[in-house]
Structure 1
Amino acid sequence: MAVESARNGPVDLAYETVGPPGGEPLLLIMGLDSPMRWWPDGFCAELADRGFTVARFDNRDTGRSTRTAGRPCSAAGRAGAGYSALDMIEDARAVLDALAWPDAHVVGQSMGASIAIGLGLHHPGRVRTVTTLSALPRGFRLAEVARYVDPVGLARMARVTARRPRTRQQLLRQHVALARMQAAGSQPFDERWATETARQVLADGPSDPAASARQLAAIRTGSRLLRHPERLGVPLLAIHGAEDPLVRPSAAAALARAVPGGRAIVFGDMGHEVPRRLWPALADAISRNASRARILAQ
């Protein structure tokens, strides 16, 4: 797959497409400090098999997209080299523009789900449907989402990310450890895939420990932008894992209730991940949500 580039102001956004050129357009948005490689190739192929032309891209500060130097933006807004949630929403819009897609189905995972919802709220004409995976209902402001996050899981993740790897091998192991702790504990962990993906991620560019802090600060400062999912005017499907160690499954129900006509699905053997064993079921669910837009358009 050839990597191409979209531009939003000073930011270049690496993206690639999978599937037939004439398929239904579908944009994938990955989560916190996670480049597009964490959308598995096999999952993208499952979506392509259902008639979608799939695009995935590296959020700013990840992968082969523009990296930002400096500290995270402050709670009050931009500061120094910081950026905002709206900037990240406009990044997704810029990828649609580069693809010459007037509109698309949008699928977001974790933080990417907030960007997907934000895109639907701020550019409603560009979004056909929204499907979220492991989403919080109203952005990432702690006071609004505390009931939905698992403090034990967050503490485990913090312990992993608190380590400062000194070698490339240590950094590789940290990436794999994060993938493992986010996976469903009742199922075998695909360490081979996680290790190979982590190697590719590290080959794409240097790791920046401050990138996740900048992205998280951006989404938190955009809490007002994301506070009203009930204004989303397209079909929404909230997918969640019953074994998600970071975000409780009740978040999916809350998000579905907030959006008129919203629906939720909870998979019993899924964590904060896109696991191989569920690729067909996830692709089917996304396809069914897309069909709701076709029905409404008739």
Structure 2
Amino acid sequence: MASVDANGITIEYEREGEGDPLLLVMGLGGQLSDWPQGFRDALTSRGFEVIRLDNRDAGLSTEFTSAPPTTVDLAKAMVSRRFVDAEYLLADMAADAVGLLDALGLDSVHVAGMSMGGMISQTLAIEYPSRIRSMTSVMSTTGNRRVGQPKAKLVRTMAKRETPTPETAVEQSVEFFRLISGPTFHEEDFRALATESVSRSFRPAGTARQTAAIFASPDRTPALKQLDVPTLVIHGMVDPLVRPSGGIATAKAVPDSRLLMFNDMGHDLPRTRWDEMADAIRQNADRAAAAEQQAAAS
């Protein structure tokens, strides 16, 4: 792994494979190490150079210091649709990604983000259209509070969760992902991944600040309707955290986008679907290449 100084912070990243550059943007509290190796292998085997980064306040990238909102505050904001105070916004996180591209000398990339990473990817496409060749938004939503909201029972469960400690974080994570994942959730595989993540970096306050950034950022729907970028939307039909309406709304907003939904996918990346997802991301990237060739010929 390596790091660069960009956009006023330090960003940890990793590159693997050869081919078309594909930036993977992780979700809330996640780290670059949370992208499953098998899924990354599926992408590199389809001609991508996979670039992963730790978002600010996660992993080994810069950690911020402001007091984070409490779980109860965030749950209230989720239910009441109020905005919250935040040290930074999704737009700042998108600017971090562009700073990384600048540091790596990459004029443009394909981008795929999951959950909060999908929101950051959408923001990238909106605010830096010349830098994004194609976009894939996975288990994400538009920022419209009327769609993609978690189930009420899950919100109540989240509000009651105790603040994790290094000793309890792994089991809390396993318990939570058991609730939000689809029927193919493999507990022992996830426990191993969670153990690695907690050992690498433990930042619950950073996760809370990232959550605040989500709630403080505006609805992207009007801007998504103006996009001109090949877009793929992937969503699980049994996702209780970002319900399917979020993915459907994203696909409806972006012109000529494609929607791929799986009936055995919750808020997770089921290994049974890695190849299909990788194929779809490749096809979406090829759409971008075909459009570029057509534009050059005309």
TM-score of the superposed pair, with normalisation by structure 1: 0.88
> 2:145 — aligned with what?
145
> 1:107 — aligned with what?
112
- 2:29 is aligned with what amino acid? D
> 1:121 — aligned with what?
126
- 1:178 is aligned with what amino acid? F
Alignment of 1:263-282 (within 5 A): 263-282=258-277
- 2:162 is aligned with what amino acid? R
- 2:146 is aligned with what amino acid? A
Q: Does 1:174 align with 2:172?
A: yes
1:70 aligned to which of 29, 53, 66: 66
Q: Bigger CA drift: 174-183 or 42-51?
A: 174-183
Structure 1 residue matching 2:21: 3-state secondary structure? strand
Q: Does 1:164 align with 2:163?
A: yes
- 1:258 is aligned with what amino acid? A
- Deviation, 1:285, is 0.8
Deviations 1:104-130 (A, max 9, x none): 100010111110011111111100000
1:6 aligned to which of 4, 7, 14: 4
> 1:206 — aligned with what?
202
Q: Does 1:283 align with 2:278?
A: yes
Q: Does 1:240 align with 2:240?
A: no
> 1:16 — aligned with what?
14
Q: Percent identity among equivalent residues?
A: 37
The 1:276–1:227 alpha-carbon spacing in structure 2 relative to 1, beyond 3 Å, is same
Deviations 1:184-226 (A, max 9, x none): 0x33x21222112111111222332x22221122233221566
1:253 aligned to which of 222, 241, 248: 248
Q: Which residues of structure 2 form unaligned runs of 5+?
A: 70-81, 294-298
Aligned residue pairs: how many?
Answer: 281
> 1:196 — aligned with what?
192
Deviations 1:252-295 (A, max 9, x none): 22211111111111111111111111110110111111111011
Structure 1 residue matching 2:146: 3-state secondary structure? helix
- 2:13 is aligned with what amino acid? Y
- Deviation, 1:153, is 5.4
Deviations 1:9-32 (A, max 9, x none): 431111101212xx0000000111
Structure 1 residue matching 2:113: 3-state secondary structure? strand
Q: Bigger CA drift: 229-238 or 103-112?
A: 229-238
Q: Bigger CA drift: 251-260 or 282-291?
A: 251-260
Structure 1 residue matching 2:167: 3-state secondary structure? helix
Q: Which residues of structure 1 form unaligned runs of 5+?
A: none
TM-score of the superposed pair, with normalisation by structure 2: 0.88
- Deviation, 1:77, is 6.1
- Provide runs of 4+ in structure 1 moved above 4 Å: 72-78, 224-227
The 1:10–1:147 alpha-carbon spacing in structure 2 relative to 1, beyond 3 Å, is closer
The 1:252–1:164 alpha-carbon spacing in structure 2 relative to 1, beyond 3 Å, is closer
Q: Distance in 1 between matches of 2:261 and 2:104?
A: 32
Q: Distance in 2 between matches of 1:269 and 1:224?
A: 28
Structure 2 residue matching 1:27: 3-state secondary structure? strand
> 2:101 — aligned with what?
96
